[in-house]
């Protein structure tokens, strides 16, 4: 156990500088408590550092994100998988109006290029897997407000209209329901038309796009035509995932959309389509949806934590943890001070050696070996008084003062000439002294057994060394 405590003392990182007034041969004064604090702080700091590094490796540290909004004059968006869904929630009828056979309402998709319809519309129908639904599986939308050149394409938008069935637009084996069925269906309210678009968001942990859906609900009443603008909003995300230096990657995706509804006259949309088309069109339209790219987009700059910032974060927290070092420094300082003052007191009063140090090296009377025949409280008070005197005695100014008093006493007793001659005094090393040193070194390899009690015996040294004769025994 003692070896363990000695090891703890050796790992004390908060040892205080030893004073020249002590009898310790080390360069720093270290303690068990200081070593224990060093082990705890070091372990906590290492564990926290590893924890932060693991979070950083797994991209679990939140990145720095800077988001701004900008206006674009040109943008493109292409998709090749189901993106836009229109679903009818019919509360009054179980008939699917968008089916190919017995069709009641035909969804027609027009392509607008610079505001002009050049091609025939594409009829979209529901199927048995997704009844009451219209799906836009692929397409290209282009925003161009600055004119066409060799590097840009002309503006392209999609216009989806829900028109009463006409045989001119049917495909394959499709056919319209009879006129009575169509008129009966159009004459009543049918619930809600859900507009759902698949959007994306970036997962900062794995730098992959995640898909989610956003849905708007609007009333579907064929008697009241509604013109709806669906503005798709794009986002460009620039990711800097470099470890030390910048390494930028860019991704563009749809992150949101907005809808603007406007109720219009029965003749407005057919006349507008006819004016934009190069062909003659005769349609009875109930609802119209214009899909376009919004010219206001979001630019997001994502900077993943770099190694330098991670190390700075670790260093700042470790610095806070190591604020406890001042507790260890204070403890070691008090420990050293109490031990030093106790040694000074016992130089004058050896009886106080019976006092034993506690956890903070504060010396307390041992009741089992109290030889003073007085109360422990009085002994402790006397000891505290002596400690105050010892603290004053070991001050440098007091040491110089005491030396000056001794100088004046010697000067008064022996005169100045004796003190001046002391500068020339010294001990010459003789041949006998050197031989005694050699003999003592040769005999040091033999096992010597000495009596335990040497208090009444004169301690003999191999020779009288004036440099060490008055050094306090360790």
- DSSP line for 400-426: HHHHHHHHHHHHHHH-HHHHHHGGG--
In a domain, 366, yes or no: no
Instruction: Specify the pLDDT at position 462.
Output: 46
| 208 located within any domain | yes
Closest C-alpha to 298, from 261, 260, 257, 259 = 257
Does residue 360 sit within a domain?
no
Whether 362 contacts 356, CB under 8 Å: no
Provide the number of structural domains found in the chain: 1
Does residue 224 belong to any structural domain of this protein?
Answer: yes
Of the two residues 263 and 282, the one the predictor is more confident about is: 263
Separation in Å, CA 349 to CA 373, 386, 420: 16, 10, 34
In this predicted structure, the answer to whether residue 305 has a pLDDT above a threshold of 80 is: yes
- Residues 310-337: pLDDT tens digits? 888 788 777 776 677 777 777 777 777 7
Domain range for residue 117? 67-303
pLDDT, tens digit, 9 for 90 and up, residues 190-225: 889 999 999 999 888 888 889 999 999 998 888 888
**Residue 17: inside a domain:** no
pLDDT tops 50 at residue 173 = yes
Residue 21: is its pLDDT beyond 60? no
- Does 393 fall in a domain? no
| Domain annotation covers residue 231 | yes
Q: What is the pLDDT of residue 143?
A: 92
Query: CA 273, 136, 224: angle at the middle one, nearest 5?
Result: 45
Q: What is the DSSP letter of 361?
A: S
Tell me the percentage of the chain whose pLDDT exceeds 70.
79
For residue 230, the model assigns a pLDDT of 95
Q: Is the dihedral of CA 386, 387, 392, 395 positive or negative?
A: positive
Which of the residue ranges 131-140, 202-211, 306-315, 400-409 would you say has the lowest mean pLDDT?
Answer: 306-315
The predicted pLDDT at position 457 comes to 45
CA-wise closest residue to 393 among 327, 340, 456, 351: 340
Q: Look at residue 252 and tell me if it is in a domain.
A: yes
How far, in Å, CA of 443 to CA of 117, rounded? 118
The partner residues of 158 in beta bridges, in order of sequence, read: 111, 291
């Amino acid at each position: 156990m003692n070896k363990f405590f000695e090891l703890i003392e050796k790992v004390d990182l908060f040892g205080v500088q030893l004073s020249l007034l002590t009898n310790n041969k080390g360069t720093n004064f270290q303690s068990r408590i200081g070593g224990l604090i060093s082990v705890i702080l070091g372990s906590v700091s290492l564990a926290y550092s590893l924890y932060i590094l693991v979070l950083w490796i797994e991209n679990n540290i939140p990145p720095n994100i800077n988001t701004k909004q900008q206006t674009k004059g040109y943008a493109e968006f292409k998709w090749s998988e189901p993106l836009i869904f229109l679903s009818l929630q019919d509360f009054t009828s179980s008939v699917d109006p968008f089916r190919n056979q017995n069709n009641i309402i035909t969804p027609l998709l027009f392509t607008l290029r610079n505001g002009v319809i050049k091609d025939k519309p594409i009829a979209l129908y529901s199927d048995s897997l997704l009844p009451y639904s219209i799906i836009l599986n692929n397409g290209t939308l282009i925003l161009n407000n600055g004119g066409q050149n060799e590097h840009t394409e002309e503006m392209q938008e999609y216009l989806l209209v829900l028109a009463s069935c006409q045989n001119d637009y049917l495909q394959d084996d499709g056919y319209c329901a009879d006129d009575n069925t169509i008129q009966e269906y159009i004459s009543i309210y049918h619930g809600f038309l859900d507009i759902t678009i698949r959007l994306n968001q970036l997962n900062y942990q794995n730098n992959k796009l995640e898909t989610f859906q956003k849905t708007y609900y609007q009333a579907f009443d064929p008697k009241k035509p509604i013109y709806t603008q669906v503005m798709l909003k794009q986002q460009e995300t620039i990711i800097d995932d470099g470890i030390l230096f910048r390494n930028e990657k860019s991704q563009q995706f749809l992150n949101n959309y907005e809808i603007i509804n406007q109720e219009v006259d029965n003749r407005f949309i057919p006349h507008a389509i006819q004016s934009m088309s190069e062909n003659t069109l005769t349609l009875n339209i109930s609802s119209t949806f214009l899909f376009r790219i919004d010219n206001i987009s979001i630019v997001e700059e994502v900077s993943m934590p770099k190694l330098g910032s991670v190390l700075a974060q670790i260093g700042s927290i470790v610095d806070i943890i190591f604020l406890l070092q001042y507790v260890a420094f204070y403890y070691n300082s008090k420990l050293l001070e109490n031990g030093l003052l106790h040694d000074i007191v016992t130089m004058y009063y050896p009886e106080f050696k019976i006092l034993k140090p506690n956890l903070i090296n504060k010396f307390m009377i041992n009741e089992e070996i109290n030889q003073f025949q007085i109360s422990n409280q009085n002994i402790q008070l006397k000891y505290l008084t002596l400690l105050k005197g010892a603290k004053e005695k070991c001050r440098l100014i007091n040491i110089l003062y005491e030396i000056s008093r001794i100088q004046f006493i010697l000067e008064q007793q022996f005169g100045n000439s004796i003190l001046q001659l002391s500068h020339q005094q010294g001990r010459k090393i003789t041949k006998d002294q050197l031989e005694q040193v050699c003999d003592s070194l040769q005999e040091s390899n033999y096992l010597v057994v000495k009596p335990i009690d040497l208090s009444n015996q004169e301690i003999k040294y191999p020779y009288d060394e004036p440099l060490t004769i008055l050094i306090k025994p360790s």
